Amino acid sequence: MKILVIGGGGREHALVWKLKQSALVEKIWCAPGNGGIAADAECVARDGGDVPAIFALAEKIAPGLTVVGPELPLVHGISDAFTARHWKIVGPLLQAAQLEGSKIYSKQFLLRHAIPTAKMYGAFDSVADAYAALDRVAWPLVLKADGLCAGKGVLVAKDKPEARAFIERVMEKGELGPGGQRMLLEEALEGDELSFIILTDGHRYAPMVPTRDHKRVFDGNAGPNTGGMGAYSSDDLLPAGLRDTIISTIVEPTLRGLARDGVSYQGFLYVGLMLTKAGPKVLEFNCRLGDPEAQAIVVRMDFDLAEVLADVADARLDPAKLKWKSGASACVVLASGGYPGKFDVGKTISGLTCIEAYTGVSVFHAGTRRHGDALVTSGGRVLGVTAAAASIQDALQKAYDAAARIHFEGMHYRKDIGAPAGRLKAVGD
Ligand code: AMP
C-alpha cells in the first residue's frame, strides 16, 4: 500500500510512525511533513490546505490511500475532490466537516437531534444584535466565532465589557478573519473536560482510548491557551458507566442524527465533552484527531492502522480489529520560548540521537526542520515526547525522563501533565 498523509504536525508524525509499522505499507509520502517526519516518510513541500496542489500531487504519485490530519483540507473539500475520482481517502466530505467548520451549524445539529449541549442564547451576523443580546444572558458567557479561527475563536467572558471587547475585535474589526463574521453565544458549562474520539466508516464506529489534553501554557492551568501542551490517556480516565452514557446519549445519537440529515460521515470524529453534574454535554466537534491527543492515542494502538484506515475508506470498518494496549500513555509537548506568544525559530535541538532506542519513548516532531545535518526549531510546539506504559505514573516518568535529555534554547514544557491526580515526578527541573 502507498499512503499519502496530509499535514505537518505532531499528529501527522504520530500517524506516519504508526502507519510505517504495517507490513502492508510500501511507501509513505507526507505533505508537507516536517524535520522529524522526513526520517519516516518522503516529505513533499505542499500546503495541506491547498486542495488543487494536493490533488495534483496525488495525480502524480497515485497513492492507494490518503489520510488527512488537519481540518483545513477537509473544510476546503479535499475528500469531495478525491471521492469524485474514486481515490481512497480517510476524512469527511465538506458538508460533514461543517460539524467543525461552523460552530452554528454544529450547535443547530445538536439541538435538532436533542443531543446534550450548552444552551444557545443566539447566533448573530449583526454586531448590533450581538451587543443587544448581552442584556439577556447569564454570566460567565461563552462566545464562539462561527468559523475556523486557529483555536482563537472561543472566549469564556466573565462580564459584559469583556464580551463586548471580544465581539468588537472579532466581528467589527475582523481580527480573526472571515471565521469571525458570525458569532454564537452560549451558556458556560462547568466540569472536567474529556475528549472522546471515534473512527467511523459512516455505518460502524470504533472509539479510540479516552484522552485528556492540557490547553493552558503553564502548570496549574495558568496562562493563555495553546494548541495543546500535552495529553494523556489511561483506562481509568473513563469508567465503564460513563463510557456507556457517552455512547448512548452522545455518540450514537450523533451518528443517527447525521444519517437522518442525509450526511455521510467518514473518518475520525472528535467529540469535546464537558462532564457536568447533569451528565456529559458536547462542547464541540472536530472532524479529525486532536493534537496532541493523537500522539497519546497511537502509542496505545495494538492493531494495524494502515489496514484499519483502508477498511474505513472502503466502508467496511470492523471495530473488533481495534485492539489497545492496556494501561496508559502520556505526551509532553516541548515548546519554543515565548509560545503561545512570539517566539524565535531556528534553535538547534540536541539530545535526540537514539532517544527512542535508549528510553523506549517516541518523540513526535511538530515544529522542526532539517538544517544541514542539524535539526532546528520551526514552530511554537516543537516536539511531543510520548510514552506508553502499564500505568499513568510509569508513562509520565518515561516521558519526563526523556524530555530532560532534550534541549534547545528557550525550551519549556509543563511539569504537571496527567494532573490533577498529582501523579507527576518531574525529572531534571
Ligand atoms: P471549543 O473550540 O468549542 O471546544 O472551545 C474551546 C474551549 O473553550 C473548550 O475546550 C472549553 O475549554 C471552552 N468552552 C467551549 N464551550 C464552552 C462552554 N459552553 N462552557 C464552558 N467552556 C467552554
Atom of ligand 1 nearest to the CA of 103: 3
Q: Which grid cell is 56?
A: 495534483
Which residues share a beta bridge with 366? none
Q: What is the mean pLDDT of residues 259-266?
A: 96
Q: What's the CA gap between 387 and 398, in Å, rounded? A: 6
Test site for ligand 1: of 100, 107, 156, most ligand atoms within 8 A of the Cβ: 156
Asked whether residue 131 carries a pLDDT value surpassing 70, the answer given is yes
Task: Give percent above pLDDT 90 in the chain.
Answer: 93
The pTM of this model reads 0.95
The pLDDT assigned to 429 comes to 27
Asked whether residue 425 carries a pLDDT value surpassing 50, the answer given is no
Q: What are the pLDDT digits (tens) for 394-411?
A: 999 999 999 999 999 999
The identity of residue 115, as a single letter, is I
Q: What are the pLDDT digits (tens) for 191-232?
A: 988 999 999 999 999 999 999 999 999 999 999 989 999 999
Residue 228 Rama label (left phi>0; alpha psi -120 to 50; beta): left
Q: What is the mean pLDDT of the chain?
A: 95
Q: Is 272 touching ligand 1 by the criterion CB < 6 Å? A: yes
Cα-to-centroid distance, 154 and ligand 1 (Å): 7
Atom of ligand 1 nearest to the CA of 187: 19
Nearest alpha-carbon partner for 182 in 101, 120, 123? 123
Q: Is 344 touching ligand 1 by the criterion CB < 6 Å? A: no
Cα-to-centroid distance, 312 and ligand 1 (Å): 29
The pLDDT assigned to 422 comes to 39
Q: Is 142 touching ligand 1 by the criterion CB < 6 Å? A: yes
Nearest alpha-carbon partner for 268 in 249, 294, 246? 294
User: Do 210 and 196 touch, CB atoms closer than 8 A?
Assistant: yes
